[in-house]
Amino acid sequence: MSALSIFFAALFYLATAIFVVGLALKIRQYAVTPAPLKIALTPAPLTTTGVGFRLTREVVFFESLFRSSKWTWAFGWMFHAALLLVVLRHVRYFQEPVWLPIAMVQPFGTYAGFAMVAGLAGLWARRFLVDRVRYISTPSDHLMLALLIAIGLTGLAMRFVAHIDIVAVKVFMLGLMRLSVQPLPTDPVLLVHLSLVALLMIIFPISKLLHAPGLFFSPTRNMTDNPREARHLATWAAALDK
């Protein structure tokens, strides 16, 4: 077994551990953080069912972003929808045999890579062209967008420019799942792509990408607008109220 294969196997085991543990700790932190005030963003639903529908619209359609900025919504929704297809397409590398729904999404996932990069390019251009957004943008914002675009471009390069042995790549990935390291192709574009993906997994738990799970714990989104009907008490305040 080559040192390169062992290195990337160790890298992905480490990246996966950091991603899973780091994400779990952040979600736990979100869950236990008290919300002492009723701060639902009005007009807000009056029932728990309504909150569920509101969160669904927010997750699927980016409702509040659509109301705020149509251009940002267009690029953001394009990126996230394309990313979903791309991720589903990559599931085939971890399955044998491949499930029918994953097989059916393959043609769409291939070209979704272009939409993903285009959406990211639009979001990045916004940070340069819109004055108020440029003012609040930090180096980490630009670096994160650059990382995501680099992942997309290297992925497209392997598909349309420098073709690689995807069968060998799948054998390597299945081997990781079975704790049996297999040879990894040495194509430079593939190695760069995998390195960038591992880097993304490592920094995800400490990045702004945590807005994905954080949305579900936002009190402005997950609270009902019933301050007159029901008294709101944080967990720690409820204990003192007894």
**Can you give the pLDDT of all 242 residues of the chain as single tens digits?**
789 999 999 999 999 999 999 999 999 999 988 877 778 888 888 888 999 999 999 999 999 999 999 999 999 999 999 999 999 999 999 998 999 999 999 989 889 999 999 999 999 999 999 999 999 999 999 999 999 999 999 999 999 998 899 999 999 999 999 999 999 999 999 999 999 999 999 999 999 999 999 999 998 888 888 777 777 666 666 666 55
Q: Fold for domain 42-227?
A: Fumarate Reductase Cytochrome B subunit (1.20.950)
Our CA dihedral for 110, 153, 117, 109, rounded to 10 degrees, sits at: 10
Both tokens of residue 124?
Answer: 């990045």
Could you tell me the pTM of the whole model? 0.90
How far apart, in whole angstroms, are the C-alpha atoms of residue 80 and residue 87?
Answer: 10
What single-letter DSSP state applies at residue 98?
A: P
Cα-based distances in Å from 13 to 87, 99, 120, 197, 221: 19, 25, 28, 12, 35
User: Position of tokens 């192709």?
Assistant: 185
